[in-house]
Amino acid sequence: MTAKILLGKTAIGFLLLAAASLAGEAKTKVTSQPFGKMPDGTSVEIYTLTDGPFEAQITTYGGIVVSLKAPDRTGKPADVVLGFDDLNGYVANFNGPSNAYFGAIIGRYANRIANASFTLDGQKYSLPKNNGDNTLHSGTHGFNNVVWKAKAVPNGVELSYLAKDGETGFPGNLATTVRYTLVKGDLRIEYSAETDKDTVLNLTNHSYFNLAGGGDILKNEVTIDASRFTPVNANLIPTGELKSVEGTPFDFRKSTAVGARINADNEQLQLGHGYDHNWVLDNGGKLAEVAEVYEPSSGRILKVFTDQPGIQFYTGNFLNGTVKGKGGKPDEYRSALCLETQHFPDSPNQPSFPTTELKPGERYHTVTVYSFSYR
C-alpha cells in the first residue's frame, strides 16, 4: 500500500516535471539590484541570471554583459569576459579615448561606416566621426551609452530602448528590444526592432572573451565556419571583395590556434594589426553554429550560433594595457577575443553586401547564442 502511494507520488512528480519542461518553465534564477547612477542621476540596475555553475550579469547601462561565469573541466567557474568592477568604470571609458565597448550592445550600426555617411532613398545622412573619418559602432553616443528599460522574463531579462528619429544621425524612431536568457550555459541574445521611417540597422554584442580567465588568447583554438572574408583597406573599411580564405591565415575552417598565423607576412593581417575582420558565414541566414573557441588549459569551450551573415573576429589588437579593468588589472594586448555576429561593415555604402535596411511594417529579429561547455 505504502509502496503504491509512493509510486503514485513519483509518477505525479514525473508528470509535473514533464509538463514543466514541455511548457519550457523557467528554472534560471533572475535577480536585480542597483548598479549605481549615471552622471545625470539616472538609476542603473544590474540583473544576475544564475543557472547552476553558470552566471551572467547584465546592466541596464548599454545592455553590457558585465560578467559571465562558466566552469572549467574541473567544475571551477571563472569570469570569462573583460569589463569593469562598477558603473563608473564603464561610463568613464565609454566617454574616453580608449573606449573598447566591453560587453555592450552596439547600435544602431555595429562596426564601421565609411566617411561617416550613407545615402538612403536618395537622402544623405551624416553620422558622428569617431574613427578617423569614419563612424565606428555608431559614434560616441550609441546603444552602448544609454540606459535601457528592463523587465525580468523567464530565464532572463529583456531590455528596451526607443532611439529617436535623427539620434546620432540615423533616420526613424527605432523601438528596440534585446532579450538575454541563460539556460544551461547558453547565453541567448535576441534582438528585435521596428522603425517608423526607412533606416539602416546592425546590432551586435561586443563581449571580449578570455576563456582562461586571464593571460593572452594566442593559444585559443578557433574554428569559423566561413569560406570567405571581407578584406579591408587601411581604414579597416571593406574593399567590397568577398575573398576566399583558402590558403590564407584567415582559413579557420579547421580548428587553429589564434597565434599560429597572427604574425604571418600578410597584408590583411598588417592592416588589421592582427585579426580584425568580418568573415562571410556559411550559415545561409539560418540560426546555426558558426564558430568555436577551445581554451586548452581550462578546457572551456565557447560555441557561437547565429542567423547573421557575418562575424567580426577581433583579437584585442588595440588593447594596450592603459585601461585598468576588473580588480584594477590592465587589459593587455590580445588578452581577449571578440566574435561579433552582425552584417558586414559599411553595408549601407556597399550595394553588393546583404542589405541592412529596415522599413516601417517590417520587424528586425535576429538571434545569437554564446554557448559554454568544457572538455
Residue 29: strand pairing partners = 50
Question: Does residue 340 carry a catalytic annotation?
Answer: yes
- Could you tell me the smallest distance in angstroms from the CB atom of residue 24 to ligand BGC? 33
* Position 250, amino acid: F
- Could you tell me the smallest distance in angstroms from the CB atom of residue 116 to ligand BGC? 15
Among residues 194, 292, 340, 343, the one annotated as catalytic is 340
Q: Between residues 318 and 364, which has the closer beta carbon with respect to ligand BGC?
A: 318
- Could you tell me the smallest distance in angstroms from the CB atom of residue 111 to ligand BGC? 6
Contacting residues for 60 by C-beta, under 8 A, at least 6 apart: 35, 44, 45, 46, 47, 147, 148, 149, 150, 159
Q: Between residues 305 and 314, which has the closer beta carbon with respect to ligand BGC?
A: 314
Render 357-370 in DSSP notation, one character per residue. EE-TT--EEEEEEE
Handedness of CA 58, 139, 87, 215 (dihedral sign): positive
> Running DSSP on this structure, what letter comes out for residue 312?
E
Q: Between residues 229 and 314, which has the closer beta carbon with respect to ligand BGC?
A: 314
- Could you tell me the smallest distance in angstroms from the CB atom of residue 63 to ligand BGC? 16
Give me the helices (H) in 57-101, please: 87-94
Q: Between residues 134 and 181, which has the closer beta carbon with respect to ligand BGC?
A: 134
Question: Does residue 365 carry a catalytic annotation?
Answer: no
Judged by the rule CB under 6 A, the positions of this chain that interact with ligand BGC are 100-101, 111, 136-137, 236, 276, 312, 314, 318, 340
| CB distance 285 to 306 below 8 Å | no
Alpha-carbon distance 249 to 120, whole Å?
36
Alpha-carbon distance 21 to 172, whole Å?
40
Alpha-carbon distance 237 to 374, whole Å?
36
- Could you tell me the smallest distance in angstroms from the CB atom of residue 273 to ligand BGC? 8
Render 228-258 in DSSP notation, one character per residue. EEE-B-TTS-B-S--EE-TTSTT--SS-EEG
Residue nearest to ligand BGC (CB): 318
- Could you tell me the smallest distance in angstroms from the CB atom of residue 357 to ligand BGC? 22
Q: Between residues 47 and 101, which has the closer beta carbon with respect to ligand BGC?
A: 101
Among residues 55, 158, 194, 206, the one annotated as catalytic is 206
The grid coordinates of residue 140 equal 560616441
Q: Between residues 70 and 336, which has the closer beta carbon with respect to ligand BGC?
A: 336
Alpha-carbon distance 237 to 241, whole Å?
11
Active site residues: 206, 340
